[in-house]
Structure 1
Amino acid sequence: MFLSKLMINVRSREFRRDYANVHEMHRSIMSAYPDTLDETPARLGHKILWRLDAAQIGYAQYVQSQTAPDWSNLPVGRLAAPAEVRPLGPVLNAIAAGRMFAFRLVANPTWSTHGGKERDVRKRHAHKTSESQIEWLVRRGERHGFVIPTTRSGEPDVAPSPVSTLIGQKKDTGRITVAPVRFDGHLVITDAAAFTDAVINGVGPAKAYGCGLISIAPPRF
């Protein structure tokens, strides 16, 4: 596994185009990876996740993948500094049941209903309150091998904050609208295998569009 850090030049015309259409952002990221040899979608085949974080100046884009990327395919001027790529092995090796980590996750907390007459069509609805967003994350933790500890006041040690809505257009499915939420806090691993799978494959929906990448670091006290 590899993690890339891309410092974005916000004056880049190509980046501004991608920022206005998250599907184009997805396509630009995919340009760093080869086509897959079978019918597996390239994002799944290379296990690609990405996140756009606000930096002091502009944005830092983090891209995680199973395949080593080739960022030379990006347009000249898109990056404000050379791409940094490092192996993710040390992070994965640090995962063990009982360990606590600080974490950041940009996710798409949603719930779904059946859509009208089409019983097999499901419509997603965004969780809009911080309470329901935290509840969504706690439920995901049960599936993905982690729990959110509590603070001294008894509250979950995580803070959700809104992120700019991601919009785009895709030819075959039409308009794309994703309402991400950024979670910052601490977690405790309960199942190392399940949590490793979550780190590699992501958490929640909209993984092609900047959601699902979970980053961990030593606890902050």
Structure 2
Amino acid sequence: MYLTRFRLNTHRSGSRRLLSSPQAMHAAVLGGFPDLLPTSPVPSGAAAEPGGPRVLWRVDRNAKAEVFLYMVSPSRPELTHMVEQAGWPRSDPETWWSTHDYTGFLSRLEAGQTWGFRLTANPVHSIRRKDGEETKRTAHVTPRHQAGWLLKQQAGRGFEVLRREGTEPALPEIDGYELLVHGRDDSGFDKPDPRPHRKGARMRVPVVTATFDGRLTVTDPEALRRALCAGIGRAKAYGCGLMTLAPVR
């Protein structure tokens, strides 16, 4: 596995186009893998079973002119095409993007370790509005419900979000955790309408996202490794599901 960071030049029109469309960014990311077929989420030769390693990506907007694309992938990407449309083509090649072997870091995860984490996800749940009706997937839109969604994801993912010491939460199942929900977005994107009677028209694809920052404890290293390589939640093709870890200061 590999972890890649690419800085986007926000002054370029190509960069703005990618940042305004998860679909366009997804296509640009997959364009960095020569052995990746358009219909496959993972490069040929990689594990393709459900829940196996795949290409994941996330955009971090740290400041107006400091925007990074993070990627986790089974093979090393080649991103010259992104430099040409969204980077600094005439700058030092070493500043274009950096890719590191992720396997060594993953192998060093142990139960009891504490890490800071960031995750951009698509928090959804299935509901039935009336008896006899089929369930419908619906997005969580409030920070409280989005935080609750993440806490439910802990089961089987190999981690637990830390609780704040010395707090008396109003709702113990949600409050009192070292967790911040921010960067909430429900803009989605447009794509061609596939319905025959709507030829030439476009349709809106709603994608609700939220970014989670917090601290966690490793409870099951193997399960956490799977989550870091396969992603958490839905809409992985559109910049969701990639969790990254960082040392706790």
TM-score (norm 1): 0.87
Could you list the per-position Cα deviations for residues 100-132 of structure 1 after superposition, in whole angstroms to 9, with x for gaps in the alignment?
11111111111123699xx77x64322122222
Could you list the per-position Cα deviations for residues 127-155 of structure 1 after superposition, in whole angstroms to 9, with x for gaps in the alignment?
12222222211110112111112111331
C-alpha RMSD of matched pairs (Å): 2.6
Q: Tell whether the 8 Å contact from 1:9 to 1:77 is kept in structure 2 after alignment.
A: no
Matched AA of 2:189: G
Q: 1:92 to 1:14 in 2, by over 3 A?
A: same
2:81 is equivalent to residue 53 of structure 1: no
Partner residue of 2:198? none
Partner residue of 1:176? 205
Consecutive unaligned residues in structure 1, runs of 5 or more: none
**In structure 2, C-alpha distance between the alignment counterparts of 1:106 and 1:131, rounded to whole Å:** 16
**In structure 2, C-alpha distance between the alignment counterparts of 1:107 and 1:50, rounded to whole Å:** 11
Q: Tell whether the 8 Å contact from 2:2 to 2:74 is kept in structure 1 after alignment.
A: yes
Q: 1:86 to 1:166 in 2, by over 3 A?
A: farther
Q: 1:93 to 1:42 in 2, by over 3 A?
A: closer
Matched AA of 1:53: D
Q: Tell whether the 8 Å contact from 1:145 to 1:192 is kept in structure 2 after alignment.
A: yes
**In structure 1, C-alpha distance between the alignment counterparts of 2:74 and 2:22, rounded to whole Å:** 22
2:244 is equivalent to residue 215 of structure 1: yes
Partner residue of 1:124? 137
Q: Tell whether the 8 Å contact from 2:15 to 2:87 is kept in structure 1 after alignment.
A: no
Q: 1:170 to 1:187 in 2, by over 3 A?
A: same
Partner residue of 2:12? 12
**In structure 1, C-alpha distance between the alignment counterparts of 2:99 and 2:238, rounded to whole Å:** 21
Partner residue of 2:122? 108
Partner residue of 1:64? 72
Greater C-alpha radius of gyration: 2
1:78-157 residue pairs with structure 2 within 5 A?
78-80=86-88, 81-113=95-127, 123-154=136-167, 155-157=176-178
Number of residue pairs matched by the alignment:
218
Q: 1:115 to 1:41 in 2, by over 3 A?
A: farther
Q: Tell whether the 8 Å contact from 1:3 to 1:87 is kept in structure 2 after alignment.
A: yes
Q: Tell whether the 8 Å contact from 1:22 to 1:166 is kept in structure 2 after alignment.
A: no
Q: Tell whether the 8 Å contact from 1:14 to 1:75 is kept in structure 2 after alignment.
A: no
Q: 1:15 to 1:114 in 2, by over 3 A?
A: farther
Q: CA deviation at 1:42?
A: 4.3
Partner residue of 2:92? none
TM-score (norm 2): 0.78
Consecutive unaligned residues in structure 2, runs of 5 or more: 89-94, 168-175, 196-202
